[in-house]
Homo-oligomer: A and B are copies of this chain.
Amino acid sequence: MAKAPILTPQAEDFPRWYQDLINKAELADNGPVRGTMVIRPYAYGLWERMQSEMDARIKKTGTQNAYFPLFIPQSYLTKEAEHVEGFAPELAVVTHGGGKELDEPVVVRPTSETIINEYFSKWVQSHRDLPLLINQWANVVRWELRPRLFLRTTEFLWQEGHTAHATFEDARDFAALIHQDVYGDFMRNILAIDTIPGRKTVKERFAGAINTLTHEAMMGDGKALQMCTSHELGQNFAKAFNTTYLKGEGEREFVWQTSWGSTTRMVGALIMSHGDDSGLRVPPRLAAVQAVVLAIKGDEAVLAKVREIGAQLEAAGVRVVVDDRTDTPFGRRAVDWELKGVPVRIEVGPRDLENGTAMLVRRIAGGKEPVSVDALAALVPGILEEDQALLLQQTRERRLARTVDVTSIEEAVEAAATGFARISWAELGPEGEAKLASEGVTVRCLVAEDGSVPAEDDQPGNVAIVARAY
């Protein structure tokens, strides 16, 4: 049965498909102030699940949550020279409070390194206070000239971790631990998104960091998206805020620090990694709703059956919703669940009752087939695990298929029109990087020959991953 497409097909216009999907699946709206965003319940539910999975991994590292103020005195930002240069153009500034002009304007936090260091310098005295491992879940503001829902918004939600350590090595290892065991594990095992873990070039580093680790993913259109970053800050902020600890007999040493963040941008990455022309596809482990049981018609017997199936699935550990809103046409509801990407649909009508079956529709692997109702509870958990693995595999296969090894800047630019290019960093270097930038192509990260994260930019054999990026 042919029908008019609900979304602009991806192949026709990927950005428009993205916007269509966000509208039709009721994920978000533009806010009234330029670049701000209303996160609607279904998308916020995805973010809540991301938060809960990330938070558990963060806590496992010994990090504790806290909360620092939204408002930062403007003077704090200027204490670390590169930091203020990086953020000044994006700041929102409060000049009036309580009906009066403020003596000193305050900025709405674009990130919290400065204000957190102000307190770390009070809290850290002896080596016993280290490591100090803090995370916060918060909103931040960076004025966006070309906003795009979830991907670049003036206000976004995120977690930002901030830690202080006794030595360079401790800080380096902790930044790497977060990069691997928190972010890497979460992306792979929950978001089902294949990423390239790597190291940012000097040009792409966080303002004030000595090293930035990243996970770069390939979206459905072949462009790159930076999923999260984990920074080594060295002693830059410690020196700006005089954060020291007593090392031995009377000797004070500046602490070594890290910061690391991931944002609501991951919702955009989820859409562009797994979405297709019918809508979103949510990885089962992330999904707040893993299966929906739909009553096709409002017969008492059908309603009783969908509730029974719902109860069985719930007992089998499946996060299930029963859709018995039969005053809304079945077709409309089916399309809506498809748009929202719920992994498994189980549809029950009067005819199914006679046969003792239900229609099992798989959103991720595709396909539909009648299944004996008695078999569902045993079947669905396995399907969900299969589909989780399939999504990860699909993102990995896409990346491999659309990545080419190149040896010149021209080839790199050409490859970046449809995917990623790999080029020797020794050959490309900062000069080549500048040339790529003039073509709108960036070095997403450096990886070592064996695929690991290099300890230094100029480690022999380093490969630059080059792409257009969101």
Contact = CB atoms under 8 A, between A and B. Distances in A.
A240 interface: no
Given A118-B32, A138-B139, A328-B128, A41 B64 contact: yes
Contact of A37 (B64, B69, B157): B69
B68 A38 contact: yes
Interface stretch (A91-99, A308-316, A338-346, A433-441): A91-99
A285 B65 CA distance: 20
Contacts of A98: 89-92, 143-145
A32 B139 contact: no
A139 B141 CA distance: 13
A71 interface: yes
A447 interface: no
A93 B89 contact: no
Size category of the binding interface on chain A: 35 or more
Interface string A99-116: 100000110100000010
B106 A108 contact: no
A88 interface: yes
Interface in A58-91: 64-73, 76, 88-91
A66 B44 contact: yes
Nearest to A98: B143
A369 interface: no
A48 interface: yes
Contacts of A67: 38-39, 44, 47, 157
Contacts of A95: 93-96
Given A93-B95, A93-B97, A97-B93, A45 B70 contact: no
Contact of A71 (B31, B44, B128, B134): B31
12 contacts: A29-B119, A31-B115, A32-B115, A34-B97, A36-B69, A36-B71, A37-B69, A38-B67, A41-B64, A70-B139, A93-B97, A97-B143
Given A38-B67, A70-B155, A128-B327, 14 more contacts: A31-B69, A32-B72, A33-B71, A36-B71, A41-B134, A44-B65, A44-B66, A45-B64, A88-B99, A91-B99, A92-B96, A93-B97, A94-B95, A97-B143
Interface of A: 29, 31-34, 36-41, 44-45, 47-48, 64-73, 76, 88-99, 105-106, 108, 115, 118-119, 122, 128, 134, 138-139, 141, 143-145, 154-155, 157, 327-328
Closest 10 interchain pairs by CB?
A98-B143, A36-B69, A41-B64, A31-B69, A39-B67, A93-B96, A33-B71, A97-B143, A92-B97, A95-B95
